[in-house]
Amino acid sequence: AVQKNLRITEQLEAWVNDNKGHAVLGTTAQYIPALGKVDPGKLGICMIDEDGNYYCAGDTDVEFTLQSISKALTFVALSHHYGLEFVLERVDVEPTGEAFNSIVPFEIHRPNKPFNPFINAGAITISSLLPGQNAQKKFAYLKGFLEELLGHPLEIDKEVYDSEWATSHRNRALAYYLKEAKFLELEVEEALDIYISQCSIKVSVKDLALLGLILAYDGYNPITKVKHFSEEIAQVTKVLMVTCGMYNSSGNFAAHVGIPAKSGVSGGIMGAVPPKLHSQTYEFRAGAGIGVYGPAIDVQGNSAAGTMMLRQISKEWDLSIF
């Protein structure tokens, strides 16, 4: 086991070094000043297997915020509480091909519900529907749910939270459209508060890897043997990750990486590698969770170096689900 661990970690270390330079293909998220000013050159990865072994390389001690990765998790939390049917009646599962914060698919195409939970319109709607009588209680439900999955307390990055509030004009506009269409359960400012809070939750690549593993195992944590949510919820979440998880480059990511994944503008990526027992390669045949951090993002909003690194890893270790 020690040998295997060393071999995999060394390999990951090499791939981090191969791909670090790709950070120049992106920049940190300038539209949120607190994200804009972080070191763009960082790159780190953690993978976890079904036995709970972590394989980590590069810049893995940095904490960063969940951003859009939280959209996958609120979808799970809401579905777990009210059932999938309730959620799918209110938000669709159709990709848009537009930017994550676009108003176009919402206002111009006039759907009777937001296209999917991973564009901002769908995500803000989901946040407002979380169980609880007010914004604080709804966010507390979400945070508690995530803390249970991870097994440790979570905190908000206050600087990022304030920075987002100060610059969320577009999200506010979207929320007003949603309110007018009667999709929000709360007032605009309250729904935004939950959304911005969830985006500002601090995590590590290890956390993302564990969350990815639980999704890979259909809601089951193979280490603690706890079943957190249903297979159906995990399945639909992974479908969303494949079709919308990397925003409007999900098709490219599916073709070149082929791992259900969700990214955020902080540069994080959460990947769920389901078991693939017929695979010719030995590594991670029994599935894995992946957490990546590389804060320089491309025009679609995905970690530039992180995406390139995942391409290499998926190819070398035959991780594509397709």
Does 214 bind ligand GLN (CB under 6 A)? Our answer is no
Among 55, 64, 100, 141, which residue sits at the site for ligand GLN (rule: CB under 6 A)?
100
Flag whether 195 is marked binding: yes
In the complex, minimum distance from the CB of residue 316 to ligand GLN, in angstroms, rounded to a whole number: 28
Does 258 bind ligand GLN (CB under 6 A)? Our answer is no
Residue whose CB is nearest to ligand GLN in the complex, by number: 68
Among 116, 120, 127, 243, which residue sits at the site for ligand GLN (rule: CB under 6 A)?
120
In the complex, minimum distance from the CB of residue 138 to ligand GLN, in angstroms, rounded to a whole number: 17
In the complex, minimum distance from the CB of residue 137 to ligand GLN, in angstroms, rounded to a whole number: 21
> Of the listed 42, 71, 206, 262, which one is catalytic?
71
79 is catalytic: no
Cα(317)–Cα(136) distance, integer angstroms: 43
- Scan residues 269-308 and list those touching ligand GLN (CB under 6 A): 301
Flag whether 171 is marked binding: yes
Binding residues: 68, 120, 164, 171, 195, 247, 265
Which residues are part of the catalytic machinery? 68, 71, 195, 247, 265
Binding residues for substrate: 68, 120, 164, 171, 195, 247, 265
